[in-house]
Amino acid sequence: MSEADTKAASPPEEAKDERVRQISPLRKALVRPELGSICGVILVFVFFFLIARDSGMFSPEGIQNWTVVSAQFAIIAVGACLLMIAGEFDLSVGSMIGFSGIIIAMMSVTYEQPMWLSIIVAFAIAMGIGWLNGFLVIRTGLPSFIVTLAFLYILRGLTIFLARVTTNKTIIGGVRDAAEGDWLAAIFGGKILTGFFQWLADNGLIDKFVAGNRAGEPVVDGVPMLVVWAIGLIIFGHILLTRTRFGNWIFASGGDAQAARYSGVPVNRVKILMFMFTAFCATVFATCQVMEFGSAAADRGVLKEFEAIISVVIGGALLTGGYGSVIGAALGALIFGVVQQGLFFAGVESSLFRVFLGVILLLAVILNTYIRRSITGER
């Protein structure tokens, strides 16, 4: 006891191990997961500024164009990001998008239910499937890759089947009329800040249409709800992950589920909730898209699961879980959107988009890994 007292009283410098390097602020900044995606964003903007400056890509309409596309990616990337940090994947996101869309259109148009009810039902069913995904992963102990791959097929097949038996078609239109005046539909379709953009146009800060039936209206007349959802989800996901106890449990569940369990973290609940959140994000995407197009199609959302995962990985998350950032994933989605639309503005053959995407994915991941290793001295 007396020995312990003298040790505790000794100056703290002595307790420090001289072999231990102090971590410099620069090194700390560099090991952040977002680093690769920040470099990537700068790179793609410089690149497209050089090759597509005169194409209108950076005009108000151009900006709106790639913002909307990036926002679409971001919505599903936030869900995929939290789930990946929790140590799991969801490959059924794309099928879930098609499925939710068809549910909404089928209920509201074919069966003439109120739009708000249709949307709520779609969310409930999708999140129920998310729960089932999580439950099966936890209960069977199978990799989520396999379980959700099964649901990729099950849901896509069901979607086409449902659309066929109820309407004989795989595309259901007329959603816009059904959504007219609906309070819940307004949260997913439409725009905000329209007055502000009108004011900008009135003051000559942005252009107005000069001809056509929209003459006199500003070329960009507001911020689409889709973008609002994306920003909202990014902020929510970021705060949840970095500022709350639950966020800490997400990291712990993905990093080392066993250690987390031993420490009393409700790992199963965390993982299942993240599957449900991913399904929620997919349904937000689906609802916004259905409102925008005025229709639902059974083949919507194909490959979205991979695009979400790619955004997340570009954003610096580890496929093995326990490490990553929502901001990084959002930047990954931005890179994605800018590249896709930038190639279009630059007049590049659109089929090359996927080639670029693959290359960017490789580069970003190599960059992330390389930087992390060179800094931590690992191999």
Partner 1 sequence: MTATNRDKATAPVLELKSIHKAFGGVVAVEDFSLDLHAGEIVALVGDNGAGKSTLVKMISGVHAPTSGSISLDGEAVSFADASVARAHGIEVVYQDLALADQQPVYMNMFLGRETVRGPLKLLDRKAMMRETQALVDELDVRIPSAKAVIRDLSGGQRQGVAIARATHWAKKLILLDEPTAALGVAETAKVEDIVRTLRARNIAILIISHSLDQVFRLSDRICVLRRGVQIGVRETARTDKNEIVSMITGVG
**Nearest to 219, CA basis, from 60, 45, 373, 51:** 60
265 makes contact with partner 1 (CB under 8 A): yes
Site map (CB under 8 A) of partner 1, residues 39-68, x = contact: ------------------------------
DSSP 8-state secondary structure symbol assigned to residue 168: S
Q: Is the dihedral of CA 105, 111, 112, 115 positive or negative?
A: negative
If the CB atoms of residues 28 and 169 are measured against partner 1, the closer one turns out to be 28
d(CA 226, CA 221) in angstroms, rounded, equals: 14
Pair of tokens at residue 85: 């940090």
Site map (CB under 8 A) of partner 1, residues 20-39, x = contact: xxxx----------------
241 makes contact with partner 1 (CB under 8 A): no
If the CB atoms of residues 21 and 379 are measured against partner 1, the closer one turns out to be 21
Name the one range near partner 1 by CB under 8 A: 111-119, 240-248, 275-283, 325-333: 240-248
Pick from 46, 193, 259, 303 the residue near partner 1 by CB under 8 A. 259
374 makes contact with partner 1 (CB under 8 A): no
256 makes contact with partner 1 (CB under 8 A): yes
Beta-carbon contacts of 244 under 8 Å, excluding residues fewer than 6 positions away, are none
If the CB atoms of residues 208 and 269 are measured against partner 1, the closer one turns out to be 269
| CA distance to 70, 188, 231, 233, per residue, from 223 (Å) | 13, 12, 11, 16
Angle at 75 between CA 317 and CA 132, to 5 degrees: 80
Name the one range near partner 1 by CB under 8 A: 4-12, 156-164, 170-178, 294-302: 4-12
Pick from 50, 258, 349, 351 the residue near partner 1 by CB under 8 A. 258
Pick from 266, 346, 348, 356 the residue near partner 1 by CB under 8 A. 266
* CB-facing half-sphere around the CA of 352: CA atoms within 13 A: 10
Whether the CB-CB separation of 317 and 328 falls below 8 Å is answered with: yes
8 makes contact with partner 1 (CB under 8 A): yes
The amino acid at residue 358 is: G
d(CA 82, CA 85) in angstroms, rounded, equals: 5
| CA distance to 29, 81, 119, per residue, from 73 (Å) | 26, 12, 21
Site map (CB under 8 A) of partner 1, residues 286-325, x = contact: ------------------------------------xx--
List contacts with partner 1 (CB under 8 A): 1, 3-4, 7-8, 12, 15-17, 20-23, 239, 242-245, 247-249, 251-252, 255-256, 258-266, 322-323, 376
